[in-house]
Amino acid sequence: MPLIPTTARFAPASSVLRRDGDFSTADATKPAVECNNPASVHAAPGIHYRQNEVCAVKLHQSTIAGLNIFTAYGEGFVTVNQEKYEKSLIVTPDEIIPEWTAATPTELGESEMQRLRQLGVEVVLLGTGKALRFPPAPLLRPFAPAGIGLEVMNLQAACRTYNILAAEGRKVAAALVFD
């Protein structure tokens, strides 16, 4: 069953993340990411972050079987349904298109954008590597008249957003371009 993020929990940086994904000294669950810059973390009212704390996203098993779901991501890779990918790919709830482009985020062209418009989805999440990089505006304009939402974000945000929209039953595609 795919895992869907639902809430965030926190553990002191002194906690040790064990190989099984649990913290040895904290009540937090997998996966963990460091939150060394509180300014970069979006918090709900009343939640305060201290430097050198480790954030963890609590995951619950989803009852939606058969969907392609991102199960992990890291430096230079993503994992879809426990299978690792290190090159550009498109993921929809029912299809994986590996190596859809050889372009870097700054080199995307009309042919790549046309391929995204032909996917038959409502929303395209364009993950542009480690940083947010918008393609030139003329390449983005044809999406709105076609009735397709296009959201440009970094690769990690695209994975998280895709999982949520896919779990809701939306027609969504994550088009990921690695640096």
d(CA 6, CA 167): 12
pLDDT at 83 over 80: yes
pLDDT for 104 equals 84
How much is the pLDDT for 27? 40
Rounded to 5 degrees, what are φ and ψ at 46? 90, -10
The superfamily (CATH) of domain 70-176 is MTH938-like (3.40.1230.10)
Residue found by looking up tokens 């939306």 in the block: 170
Give residue 7's pLDDT band: very low, low, confident or very high (50, 70, 90). very low
pLDDT per residue over 117-159, tens digit each? 999 999 999 999 999 999 999 999 999 999 999 999 999 999 9
Kindly state the average pLDDT of the residues 5-22: 43
pTM of the model: 0.66
- 157: tokens are 């945000």
As a whole number of angstroms, the distance between CA 91 and CA 19 comes to 28
Residue 62 pLDDT? 52
- Judged on CB neighbours under 10 Å (0-12, 13-18, 19+), 75 is exposed
What is the reported pLDDT for 32? 40
Average pLDDT over residues 169-179: 94
For residue 126, how many other CB atoms are within 10 A of its CB?
26
Domain definitions of the chain by residue range: 3-61, 70-176
From the number of C-beta atoms within 10 Å of its C-beta (0-12, 13-18, 19+), residue 104 rates as middle
Contact predicate 11/28, CB 8 Å: yes
